[in-house]
Amino acid sequence: MKRLCLILAALSCLTAGCARSYTVRVNGFLERGLSVPDKAAIYLAVDANSHNPIFQKEIKGKIEQLLARRGFSHAAKEDVADYRLDFAFGINRREVTGFEPYYGPASSFGFGGYRRYYYGYGSYVPYAETYHDQWLTIRLSDTGRRNAADKGKVVWVGEAATTRYSADLRQNISYLLVGIFEYFGQDTRKQVAVTIDQSDPRIMRILQAEHQQ
């Protein structure tokens, strides 16, 4: 039972937001033979039919910060940009159930009528946990400004995901962004795990910019 209590305590701690770091799973896909040149002008597109345009605007502002730090310029209109950036995000909720083995003190009788105490297997107890797979996808496509034949061609796709007990995507989106921008414009060849601490300077700069707005 002691182990089950520790699990519940850890669950309560994570749900309360006391985890010190986040693990973000990142995949970057770059079209073969293409690259994203430094200091390119990028237009950030938003979904006019978004169910939450305010949150989408917040994410757009954070992306603009991260692009600027990497040396890219912001284009106010698509026709003056080298690339168009689209992004999407969401949460997938899933429940995991099973049985947790219970290890605890037990006793048995031995010869002579004495009782022997030991620590070992007792029984199984059921458990249920809810996880939230939070994800972010960024797609970079050519606007055709330099070559009309390339208009609409997808140059790079970045995918980031993290699994949390909490469903607060608004709090966790900064970690997804920092993780995905670690490999912006690159082909990772495989999924890469990025560990980001709460005190990471990139996270702190995003929070500081939010407070200044």
Top-level class of domain 22-96+125-212: alpha beta
Tell me the C-alpha distance between 176 and 26, whole Å.
9
In the chain, the amino acid numbered 51 is H
143-177 residue pLDDT tens: 999 899 999 999 999 999 999 888 889 989 999 99
Residue ranges of alpha helices (H) inside 70-200 are: 169-181
Question: What is the residue extent of each domain of the chain?
Answer: 22-96+125-212
Its pTM stands at 0.75
What pLDDT, on a 0 to 100 scale, did the predictor assign at position 127? 59
